[in-house]
Structure 1
Amino acid sequence: MIAFTAAEIAEITSGRLDADPGITPLSVVTDSREATQGSLYVAKPGEHADGHDFIDAAFAAGAVLALVERPVSGHPSIVVADAVLAMGALAAEAVRRIRAARAEAGSRLTVVGITGSAGKTTTKDLLAGILATQGNTVAPQGSYNGEVGVPLTVFRAGTDTRYLVIEMGATGIGHIRYLAEMVKPDIGVVLAVGTAHAGEFGGVENIALAKGEMVEGLTAGGTAIINLDDERVAAMRSRTGAKVLGFSSEGRQDAQVQALNADTNAEGCPEFDLQLPDGAAPRHVSSRLIGAHHTGNLLAAAAAAWAAGVPGDHIAESLGNQAAASRWRMERTERPDGVTIINDAYNANPESMRAALRTLADLGRGRRTWAVLGAMLELGGDSIREHTAVGTQVVRLNISRLLVIGREARALYVSAVNEGSWGDECLFAETLEEAYDVLAAELQPGDLVLFKSSNSVGLRHLGDRIALPPAPTPADERSTLL
């Protein structure tokens, strides 16, 4: 972390200093449970709790300074109008200081921003894996991609950081612009414009407006990495003065980065020949990720790495060596009894749901397949229509069993029944516990089970629970004793 004194923090955040001006925090946390010796604790109000209620706990754990929105007694603090905006201001200054320090030393900091309706975290993980082979790289933990997560990622960087990878999410117009102004990316990646958060944005066209803020916010001389297979993303070329590097897995001739001869292997992992704009022969990439839809993410990471100056051979080699780095993204578990679990329930939107179901169908040839599905949230007025479409797709893909969980996803169940799936082929459970009982009783060796829902539905935890080896029955225990 870049060192800031309490006096500097107060000046940067336009805050009132109620502390020794020389206090210099060693880290920044927003959760009192993560505070360690020397932490700056940001007491931000939350949806379910107010960080000010945990100031004592933070200092007991080692915090030396608090960033607060109202005066507190007994602890060194800086009072600001908005703690989250103060974090952003401090992060922006941290990036500026890192750039200046590296420039003075004859080096540079390269900042890469990644956005899109799906695939951000996977692409971030892939790119960070490539860049880490070339220099000190800082990237978000998990899916830290908002107005709190981005500053927390920045605060982990220092003057020894060569690459800073930033994942940027949004639930409204202006959010990505704010984040881009904070970190000033040199390379900006736009993956896709889908229907995730369509209800909050007010429609897909507004999502496209918001995602395009990434390419508008690039530094002078920056590079925009554009998915030419998505028409709304391809149209963003007109919104930037930066150099554009397009990628395509569908044979777009104007794409400088392409996946040639793309396919999936017997394990459902993408394979292709990677064409880069270096004039060299395509390099073969055999990925360890699951699902053909990851081809676009692999290409995006390759294009961003190329723009960052990584040699083509290193890019291809790294892409072939990397498995999923973040949890609950097509995460595959083989149970000892022969049941295979694919847990892709970190998040869901219509595009990612369709991709996961196609992968389930492809991998499940010759096996009994289960789609365990929960709601796709934040779709607004499109919710019933989109859930209905997914139910129809499950039946048309010949998925063996469908288990739908929760009232918000009931349209998916009704659609599957209407399409011709009934009886024990299509089941509905009100709760996760009911769903667990069904699966515990009915899964058989050889079954392939996909879990997919929006994050807050909680199917990822059900998937983890089902992935555990089944408990031995009393008969099994007796045979072991004998």
Structure 2
Amino acid sequence: MMNSAEIMAATHAVREDFAFTGITTDSRAVKPGELFVALKGGNFDGHDYCAKAVELGAAGVVISHDIEPLPAWVAVFRVEDTLLAYQQLAHAYRMRQEGLKVFAITGSNGKTSTKDLVAACLGAKYNVIKTQGNFNNEIGLPKTLLDIKADTDIAVVEMGMRGLGQIAELCRIAEPDSGLITNVGETHMELLGSMENIGKAKSEIVENLPADGFAILNGDNEYVVKAAEKTKAKVVYFGLGENCDYRGSEIVTSGIGTTFTCTEKATGKQVQVRLQLIGEHNVYNALSAIAGAACYGVPMEDSAKALATARLTGSRQEIVYIGELTFINDAYNASPASMEAALKTLAEAKKAAHGKARSIAVLADMLELGAISEDAHRRVGRWAVQYGVDYVLTYGQEAAYISDEVAKAGRETCHCATRQEAADKLRELADAGDIILLKGSNSMQVGKMLELFK
């Protein structure tokens, strides 16, 4: 017969406009009236689920190849690349929101925690949405942007990367007004080869910021400071150094939190900050949040109030009490810098217990470190000794180097071949009053140790 294009050409008809209620890529969670975008991955093809999406209420689908026929009333949009189309839709939706600001965050460590704290501080004055979980890649970022509502003032988005050019691409989608770099460390060394390259990749987040935007940078990290040369936005530094615009001092950590003083360099104004978080690295995260919120007119006092009750996304220095055991669940991911920070936190928690607790570190492999992997794991072992960990329990191929360094120092340690073996050993070791750190790369699943005790 005739296709829709032929009918419209013959009759000069205009297709009736239709507003979708939302855009989704998850066929299992489609809501009535939504547009379903059929993404393709290494182990799945969303095109196989278009019919299911329509059954659940999808009013349209975006596809890149032929699919089984759908009901005639379903709008079908055919494109070359469905992922690109999804990103283009998110960008267009972001740009149509008048007055919206996008605040982007990246860094080798602390991205997700900082995102949570920035959103909390900005939330003291504005309607804020933020990246859920760690959806910080080429699929997760568009999802966050498409969650923007008519009354959203600021979208706080996290940006991750595995190579040069990837953050720049995310910035083209989100067009951030401000960018924050938490730090530059050895994460992704296997892929990028040098700290200079990692710094270059992270600095992409500030390269195209508008002149009236803000680049919030870690003033104590030499690789982050270099990013200031690549932006026309106003540069604001945070850290512990004297030259930082928002400087932390008088840091005190207890077993249940951290307090510090934040000083605003321009005015000399000071505010006391109390966190329900442990460790100096969280002081940096909080300082960056205060600095970022101040750029948008949030008083330091209001940020301090917001930080006092702020909570982080799970498995990031989450304190879990099970019976008479205290777990520091920091098992989401790991790099040399975050390992050292976690071991410091464990030492601080033990000190706060006034000598009544024994510290146990359960440490697994740090991945994607390439040629520096052995050296990095051995450094972790030496840090464990330096920070006085009472017992180090490791598993994984690379983590054997951690245990080896601890053993060389004559301290108590045990290396296990598998997570299950380590779990059995932890069950044998753990005693009332112990403080247990769980830390390793995400795929090592150290956090599953908690299941043994709950």
Same fold (TM over 0.5): yes
Change (3 A) 1:30 1:408: farther
Matches within 5 A, 1:239-388: 239-249=230-240, 251-253=241-243, 255-261=244-250, 263-267=251-255, 269-276=257-264, 279=267, 281-322=269-310, 324-336=311-323, 338-365=324-351, 366=355, 367-388=357-378
Q: Hey, what does 1:420 align to over in structure 2?
A: 410
User: What's the % identity of the aligned pairs?
Assistant: 36
Q: Hey, what does 1:15 align to over in structure 2?
A: none
Q: Please state if 1:130 is matched with 2:117.
A: no
Q: Hey, what does 2:103 align to over in structure 1?
A: 112
> Distance in 2 between the 1:238 and 1:410 partners?
41
Given candidates 52, 67, 71, the residue that maps to 1:72 is 67
Offset, 1:432: 2.1
> Distance in 1 between the 2:391 and 2:105 partners?
36
- Where 1:171 maps in the other structure, the secondary structure is coil
> Distance in 1 between the 2:406 and 2:16 partners?
64
Q: Please state if 1:453 is matched with 2:440.
A: yes
Worse-superposed segment, 73-82 or 111-120: 73-82
> Distance in 1 between the 2:52 and 2:115 partners?
33
- Where 2:180 maps in the other structure, the secondary structure is strand
Q: Hey, what does 1:473 align to over in structure 2?
A: none
Q: Please state if 1:93 is matched with 2:84.
A: no
Given that 1:268 and 1:359 are in contact with CA atoms closer than 8 Å, whether structure 2 keeps it comes out as no
> Distance in 2 between the 1:329 and 1:411 partners?
24
> Distance in 2 between the 1:370 and 1:78 partners?
56
Given that 1:341 and 1:467 are in contact with CA atoms closer than 8 Å, whether structure 2 keeps it comes out as no
Offset, 1:22: 4.0
* CA offsets 1:135-184 (integer angstroms, 9 cap, x no match): 22110101111111110000000321111111111111111111112222
What is the TM-score when the length of structure 1 is the normalising length? 0.86
Q: Hey, what does 1:146 align to over in structure 2?
A: 137
Task: Indicate the RMSD between aligned Cα atoms, in angstroms.
Answer: 1.9
Offset, 1:21: 6.9
> Distance in 2 between the 1:390 and 1:199 partners?
18
Offset, 1:275: 1.6
Q: Hey, what does 1:12 align to over in structure 2?
A: none
Given candidates 371, 376, 385, the residue that maps to 1:395 is 385
- Where 1:392 maps in the other structure, the secondary structure is helix
Given that 2:118 and 2:289 are in contact with CA atoms closer than 8 Å, whether structure 1 keeps it comes out as yes
* CA offsets 1:430-453 (integer angstroms, 9 cap, x no match): 222222222223211001100001
Given that 2:253 and 2:348 are in contact with CA atoms closer than 8 Å, whether structure 1 keeps it comes out as no
- Where 2:58 maps in the other structure, the secondary structure is coil
Q: Could you tell me which amino acid in structure 2 is paired with residue 161 of structure 1?
A: T
Q: Could you tell me which amino acid in structure 2 is paired with residue 73 of structure 1?
A: E
Q: Hey, what does 1:84 align to over in structure 2?
A: 83
Q: 5+ unaligned residues in a row in structure 2: which ranges? A: 5-14
Given candidates 163, 176, 200, the residue that maps to 2:154 is 163
- Where 1:364 maps in the other structure, the secondary structure is helix
Q: Hey, what does 1:411 align to over in structure 2?
A: 401
Q: Could you tell me which amino acid in structure 2 is paired with residue 450 of structure 1?
A: L
Offset, 1:466: 3.8
- Where 2:254 maps in the other structure, the secondary structure is coil
Offset, 1:387: 1.0
Change (3 A) 1:60 1:284: same
Matches within 5 A, 1:196-275: 196-249=187-240, 251-253=241-243, 255-261=244-250, 263-267=251-255, 269-275=257-263
Given candidates 55, 63, 66, the residue that maps to 1:60 is 55
> Distance in 2 between the 1:38 and 1:276 partners?
49
Matches within 5 A, 1:22-37: 22-37=17-32
> Distance in 1 between the 2:18 and 2:132 partners?
27
Change (3 A) 1:467 1:292: farther
What is the TM-score when the length of structure 2 is the normalising length? 0.91
Worse-superposed segment, 451-460 or 53-62: 53-62
Given that 2:245 and 2:266 are in contact with CA atoms closer than 8 Å, whether structure 1 keeps it comes out as no
Given that 1:268 and 1:362 are in contact with CA atoms closer than 8 Å, whether structure 2 keeps it comes out as no
Q: Could you tell me which amino acid in structure 2 is paired with residue 148 of structure 1?
A: I
Given that 1:264 and 1:291 are in contact with CA atoms closer than 8 Å, whether structure 2 keeps it comes out as no
The ranges of structure 1 where at least 4 consecutive aligned residues each deviate by more than 6 angstroms after the TM superposition are: none
Given that 1:229 and 1:252 are in contact with CA atoms closer than 8 Å, whether structure 2 keeps it comes out as no
Given that 1:224 and 1:243 are in contact with CA atoms closer than 8 Å, whether structure 2 keeps it comes out as yes
Q: Hey, what does 1:44 align to over in structure 2?
A: 39
Offset, 1:61: 2.8
Q: Hey, what does 2:7 align to over in structure 1?
A: none
Matches within 5 A, 1:425-444: 425-444=412-431
Q: Could you tell me which amino acid in structure 1 is paired with residue 105 of structure 2?
A: I
The number of residue pairs the alignment matches comes to 433
Change (3 A) 1:64 1:430: farther
Q: Could you tell me which amino acid in structure 2 is paired with residue 30 of structure 1?
A: T
Offset, 1:277: 5.0
Q: Please state if 1:182 is matched with 2:177.
A: no
Change (3 A) 1:37 1:430: farther
Given that 1:258 and 1:275 are in contact with CA atoms closer than 8 Å, whether structure 2 keeps it comes out as yes
- Where 1:285 maps in the other structure, the secondary structure is strand
- Where 1:317 maps in the other structure, the secondary structure is helix
> Distance in 1 between the 2:408 and 2:47 partners?
52
